């Protein structure tokens, strides 16, 4: 085979592989946080958001938050407080909020529900907060991944209308979590928010 035909064949193979990769990425709807550590106010890779995925299950919304490194098993001392949260704007109204508003952390959404995981000393605890603590939710830690299962009724979603705006926020405090004791944090996206909807059997996440 002439060299130029061989080269053309290889190029077609490369294009096919790239096309398959892109198609799979769009279908899985995994959000990749691309911000470099030098550009965000964070010093710990176990709080550095890497990927976000949301899936609609039978009764629950499954949220997977992936960090750059594995989650710690404990914090330095009893005054340190660490959180990994998805901040949900269920009514998609930025003027209504049960947490905040804190624009430098949550950008342009009004937080109706804060759902996530806390680490105090060596104890992990999940929680759902809507202005009041509504107790724990099922969760799993798998290395650098946090998997949360949120009952749809708890965040006021119906099967006919599964959609909401959201951001993801991680924080580290000293001084038992007092507002003025924030050490560092990460958020995704850096500006604006994500919009999730379940439509025609597909999980769709858009950056707004």
Q: How far apart are the first and last CA of the chain?
A: 50
Residue 13 lies in a domain: no
Please name which of 118, 139, 114 lies closest in space to residue 74, comparing C-alpha atoms.
118
Residue 203 lies in a domain: yes
Residue numbers of the domain that contains 140: 33-207
Q: What percent of the chain lies above the pLDDT cut of 90?
A: 54
Confidence of residue 174 (pLDDT cuts 50, 70, 90): confident
CATH of the domain at 156: 2.60.40
Q: Report phi then psi at 38, rounded to 5.
A: -70, -15
Please tell me the predicted confidence (pLDDT) of residue 24.
Answer: 37
Residue 23 lies in a domain: no
Residue 21 lies in a domain: no
pLDDT tens digits, 22-69: 333 333 455 565 554 434 445 578 999 999 999 999 999 999 999 999
Residue 25 lies in a domain: no
Q: Which of 5-14, 67-76, 82-91, 132-141 has the lowest mean pLDDT?
A: 5-14
pTM of structure: 0.79
Confidence of residue 182 (pLDDT cuts 50, 70, 90): confident
What is the number of domains present in the chain?
1
pLDDT tens digits, 83-104: 999 999 999 999 988 887 788 8
Residue 65 lies in a domain: yes
Residue 4 lies in a domain: no
């Amino acid at each position: 085979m002439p060299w130029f035909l061989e080269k053309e064949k290889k190029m077609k193979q490369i294009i096919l592989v790239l096309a398959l990769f892109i198609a799979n990425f769009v279908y899985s709807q995994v959000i990749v946080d691309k911000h470099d550590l030098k550009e965000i106010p964070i010093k710990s890779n176990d709080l550095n958001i890497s990927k976000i995925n949301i899936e609609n299950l039978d009764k629950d919304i499954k949220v997977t938050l992936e960090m750059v490194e594995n989650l710690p098993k404990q914090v330095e001392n009893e005054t340190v407080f660490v959180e990994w949260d998805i901040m949900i704007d269920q009514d998609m109204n930025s003027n209504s909020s049960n947490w905040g508003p804190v624009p430098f952390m949550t950008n342009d959404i009004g937080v109706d529900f804060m759902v996530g995981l806390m680490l105090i000393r060596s104890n992990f605890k999940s929680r759902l907060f809507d202005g009041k603590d509504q107790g724990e939710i099922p969760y799993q830690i798998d290395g650098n991944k946090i998997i949360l299962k949120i009952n749809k009724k708890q965040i006021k979603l119906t099967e006919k209308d599964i959609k909401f705006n959201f951001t993801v926020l991680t924080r580290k405090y000293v001084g038992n979590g007092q507002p003025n004791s924030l050490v560092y944090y990460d958020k995704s996206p850096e500006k604006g928010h994500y919009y999730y909807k379940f439509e025609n059997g597909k999980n769709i996440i858009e950056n707004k």
